Amino acid sequence: MPRPGPRLILGSASPRRLELLAQIGIVPDDVRQADIDETPLKGEGARDYVRRIALAKAAAFDLAPDDVLLCADTTVAVGRRILGKPASRAEAAEFMRLMSGRRHRVLTAVAIRHAGKTRERLVETTVRMRPIAAAELEAYLNIGDWQGKAGGYAIQGAAAAFIPWIQGSFSSVVGLPLSETAAMLAASGIIMKETTP
C-alpha cells in the first residue's frame, strides 16, 4: 500500500544531509544527485552563488505531480572569496591557513520544489577558527577529513578541534539548517515520523 501524502526526493548525494534529515525523523523516498556546473561566476558573491546553485539543483530534476524535492548547497566564504571543495591537499592547506585565526561565513541555501513552486531560504553562520599551528595543520591534512568538504573541513569532524565559537546554525554548517528545513518541508506536507529502531 503506498504511503499517504507526498513523496520526498532528496536532490543531494551528501551522506551528511541524509543523516541530518534522519536526526529529525525524516527519511526521503528517493535520493538523486544533480549534474550541474558548480563553478562560481566571475565577480559573483557568496550569497548569490550558493542561492543560484541550490536553485539550479532544484530545477535539474523531473518530478511527479506530488513529489517534494529538497535541494541544498553549502559554501564557505572568507571575505569575498568563495572556498569550494579543495581539489588537492595543497589547496586544502591554503584554505585552512586562510581561515586560521579569523572568522569566516558558512552559507547554506535550501530550495524546496513542490506543486510547481520553488521556495528558497538562505542561512548564514559565522565560524571562528583559532590559530592553527603548522604541526596541527599537517596532522589534520594527513587524516584526510578535508576531502569533499566545502572550505576543506567538516565542523563535526577533526576540524572541530580548531573551532571554539560559532554564531548561527550548527546543522547548517554541517550541510542543512534543520529548523528552517523542517518548517519548509512541513509547509509541503512532509513531517517527521516515528522511526523504528
Distance of CA 106 to the CA centre of its chain: 9
* From 30, 48, 62, 73, the catalytic residue: 73
d(CA 114, CA 70) in angstroms, rounded, equals: 9
Distinct helix (H) and strand (E) counts, the chain: 6, 7
Catalytic-residue membership of 73: yes
Are the C-beta atoms of residues 32 and 11 closer than 8 Å to each other? yes
d(CA 74, CA 51) in angstroms, rounded, equals: 9
Which residue is associated with the grid cell 518548517? Answer: 183
DSSP 81-110: EEE---SSHHHHHHHHHHHTTSEEEEEEEE
Which residue is associated with the grid cell 579543495? Answer: 86
Which residues participate in catalysis according to the annotation? 73
